[in-house]
Amino acid sequence: MPRRISTGTAGGFTLGDVTLVGPSLGSARANQNLVLDANGTGDITTNAQLTLTGGEASTAFNAGGDLQVAGGMGVGGNLYVGGTVNLGGGTGFNDTAIGGTSTAVFTNLTSTSVSTLSETTEITNSKISSVGIITHDFTEGNTWVHSIISGNFTANFTNVPTTNNRYYTMNLVLLQGATPYLANGVQIDGVTQTIRWAAYGAPTPQANRFEEVTFQLIRVGSSWEVFGSLSTHG
């Protein structure tokens, strides 16, 4: 005689420890887990969106969280995380290798302790025929090489963060010709700043030299201080 299947709740049925009510699959026993067994090497596959709505916080693997993966996990597309990413012992990226030999790109990277780097590089940008007010976009880098300079000019540094108690270094490499010129003015987002030159006065540029003007922008008390210096190289 075939086994009787209980109809249970109207519109659903119970089979052993499993209940099915409408589109909801669950355990017929209170406080029991629902285990999806792929039966050997098979996969459990869905071609639709999988949504977890438990909202349970997690501090480590097997310590809460709506999703726990005992093995590896591959993600074919982008991975977006709304909270903190913890690796290893739950201390963020500390003592954790990232990406092997590949390049890791961070939009903003903040370290609140000592940072140790084996080597670094910086992006340089080119400016040609500099004269008047020249925009230097901080999102492109902090070093610009100026060639074919046709007059003294004002460097307008844009998109510099305005967080207080921060220090930014801007480098302008000047490829001087027979008549030398200087970046003798500074603006930050279009607002003119006072340059506090080293040695108490604006420097004198030299003809046919490679020169570097360095501006240190210091944000304190919601205002800027700008220190300037010039170094000449043969």
* 59-115 tens-digit pLDDT: 766 667 778 777 778 888 888 777 767 665 555 565 566 655 556 666 777 888 888
What is the per-residue pLDDT for 148?
Answer: 95
User: For residues 217 and 194, what is the distance between their CA atoms, to the nearest angstrom?
Assistant: 11
The CA angle 113-117-121, to the nearest 5 degrees, is 120
Tokens of 222: 């919601």
Q: What are 136's strand-pairing partners?
A: 157
Residues 6+ positions from 93 with CB-CB distance below 8 Å: 85, 87
Q: What is the pLDDT of residues 217-232, one digit of tens each?
A: 999 999 999 999 999 9
**Residues present in the chain in total:** 234
Strands 124-128 and 143-147, by their bridges, are parallel
- Tell me, what amino acid is at 12? G
Average pLDDT over residues 155-166: 97
Round the average pLDDT of the chain to a whole number and report it: 85
Report percent pLDDT > 90 for the chain: 47
What is the per-residue pLDDT for 93?
Answer: 60
- Which residue do the tokens 């670094």 mark? 120
What is the per-residue pLDDT for 184?
Answer: 97
| Confidence (pTM) | 0.66
Average pLDDT over residues 191-208: 97
Say whether pLDDT at 4 is over 60: no
Report percent pLDDT > 70 for the chain: 82
Average pLDDT over residues 131-142: 96
What is the per-residue pLDDT for 224?
Answer: 98
Average pLDDT over residues 24-50: 79
Q: Give the alpha-carbon dihedral of 62, 66, 69, 70, to 10 degrees.
A: 20
Average pLDDT over residues 201-222: 97
Greater model confidence, 48 or 104: 48
- The DSSP-derived string for 109-176 is ---SS----S-----EEEEES--EEEEEEGGG-SEEEEES--S-EEEEEES----SSEEEEEEEEEE-
CB 124 within 8 A of CB 105: no
In 3D space, the residue among 180, 174, 191 whose CA is nearest the CA of residue 226 turns out to be: 191
What is the per-residue pLDDT for 87?
Answer: 64
pLDDT band at 157 (very low <50, low <70, confident <90, very high): very high
CB 181 within 8 A of CB 152: yes
Tokens of 229: 């210096």
Burial code of 10-35, b = ≥16 C-beta within 10 A, e = fewer?
eeeeeeeeebbeeeeeeeeeeeeeee
What is the per-residue pLDDT for 113?
Answer: 86
